[in-house]
Amino acid sequence: MKTLNRRDWLKRGTLTAASVVAAPYLSFGANADQPIKLDAQGNVPYTPFFKEYLPYEVDKPVELLAKLNANENPYGPSTKAIEAIAKNGVKGNRYAWRELFDLMDKIAVSEGEGITKENIMMGPGSSDLLEKTAMVFFQKGGNIVSADPAYMSLIKVAEASGATWKPIPLKKDWSHDLAAMEAAIDEDTKLVYICNPNNPTGSMTDHAELLDFCSRVSEKVPIFVDEAYLGFLEDADKKSMVSLVKEGKNVIIARTFSKIHGMAGLRVGYIVAPTETLGVISKITRGGMGISFPSIYAAMASMDDVEFQDKSRTLNKACREYVYESLDKMGFEYIPSSTSFIIFPIEMEGKAFLEKMTEQKVGVRAFDIMGKNWCRVSMGTMEEMKLFTAALEKVLV
């Protein structure tokens, strides 16, 4: 297995001067009148070391045989969730206030650790809550510390609200550099954002180290831990930061029904946090109002459908193994993934690569990380993964 260690790769690396120098930070933030800054090629420069090649224009219809560009779960929603939607659509004339509490109670029980619904805030997908948290925490500016590369949703809204981003490169094993992140905290730091497992790298940070970090550092500054992909881990590895909430630590944990539950289009997510922290966030925003009546019932039904979640996890793993094997055969290196996607370096400029893959009717994502082009592919069905490997071979091998 040709797995990728960042230090080895950097030694051989192709860190181009252009990528290190000019990339301006995404700065629609401090100045809300300014549109999102793109570079000369129309790509989104997040940091000098992390850039995303924008996929095909989203408003253009593109016919894909394998849509592997958004980390969606191809098996969902569960049949039980679909039945719940059909049954409860008729109640769509009502606000689902009480039903939302039922879902929150159910989630609280499933989280364990003495969590109650007072520790939970719901949202139409976790993006909504990532963004609301950013809007609330950065109303008066300040800075946010996170990994580089990281999942950008919360960070972009923080910047839009006037925050400065302090990106800290991941370590050579692609885990968070917790010591460097702690050192980066200053009196203006309003939030630390950690995505574990991380997107777009798929890599994990050790649970015990992260628990210690969150426990200590949350005494100084709140920590937001995004656990969107936790559901894909085997039970023994499925270790959350939720226990810290019960200890009263100032941590916010985000979860979503979009990934293991396969409900990305149904929009259900939540955060778990101390009641005081949720009080601050919900003072100026409302979470659960954005979730539809049928989606609430779909989420409850899906939680009960453990078989579906197990199936998603098993099939996702089988696809990962297949992609690893195929990449090995074609001579690609990759970062071992704990998620439903795999990222690996490619020898083609990202935009051209996206165009060529789209011509093959396969949708993926492309990034520039540390001056190297990368492809991120989501796990679809096995059939879709075979279309992906065939397309990759055509385009790059």
In the complex, the residues that contact ligand PLP under the rule CB under 6 A are 71, 125-127, 151, 195, 199, 226, 228, 256, 258, 264, 269
Question: What sign results for the dihedral spanned by CA atoms 315, 321, 325, 326?
Answer: positive
Return the number of other C-beta atoms located less than 10 Å from residue 81's C-beta.
Answer: 28
Give the end-to-end CA distance of the chain in Å, rounded to a whole number: 18
Nearer to ligand PLP, 71 or 295 (CB): 71
Q: How far apart are CA 10 and CA 198, in angstroms?
A: 20
Least distance to ligand PLP, CB of residue 259, Å:
7
Nearer to ligand PLP, 146 or 256 (CB): 256
Instruction: Name the strand (E) or helix (H) holding 121.
Output: strand 120-123
Two tokens, residue 288: 């659960």
Residue whose entry in the numeric block shows the structure tokens 């500054």: 221
Least distance to ligand PLP, CB of residue 187, Å:
28
Least distance to ligand PLP, CB of residue 16, Å:
27
Least distance to ligand PLP, CB of residue 219, Å:
25
Nearer to ligand PLP, 26 or 150 (CB): 150
Least distance to ligand PLP, CB of residue 198, Å:
8
Least distance to ligand PLP, CB of residue 127, Å:
3
Residue nearest to ligand PLP (CB): 125
Least distance to ligand PLP, CB of residue 149, Å:
11
Nearer to ligand PLP, 126 or 302 (CB): 126
Instruction: Name the strand (E) or helix (H) holding 368.
Output: strand 365-369
Residue whose entry in the numeric block shows the structure tokens 């990532």: 130
Nearer to ligand PLP, 163 or 260 (CB): 260
User: SS3 for 189-256, per residue?
Assistant: EEEEEEECCCCCCCCCCCHHHHHHHHHHHCCCCCEEEECCCHHHCCHHHCCCCCHHHHCCCCEEEEEE
3-state secondary structure (DSSP) of residue 297: helix
Nearer to ligand PLP, 223 or 395 (CB): 223
- Report CA 333 to chain centroid distance, whole Å: 22
Comparing C-alpha atoms, which of 109, 126, 125 is closest to residue 117? 109
Nearer to ligand PLP, 99 or 226 (CB): 226
Is the separation of the CB atoms in 160 and 138 below 8 Å?
no
Instruction: Give the CB-side neighbour count of residue 301, counting CA atoms within 13 A.
Output: 22
Look at strands 66-67 and 251-256 and give their pairing.
unpaired
Two tokens, residue 311: 């199936």
Least distance to ligand PLP, CB of residue 143, Å:
21
Distances (CA, A) of 39 to 10, 47, 169, 203, 353: 24, 12, 21, 28, 18
Nearer to ligand PLP, 271 or 354 (CB): 271
Nearer to ligand PLP, 66 or 253 (CB): 253
Least distance to ligand PLP, CB of residue 14, Å:
27
Instruction: Name the strand (E) or helix (H) holding 390.
Output: helix 382-396
| Helices and strands in the chain, H and E counts | 14, 14
Least distance to ligand PLP, CB of residue 373, Å:
20
Nearer to ligand PLP, 66 or 230 (CB): 230
Least distance to ligand PLP, CB of residue 199, Å:
4
Nearer to ligand PLP, 53 or 395 (CB): 53
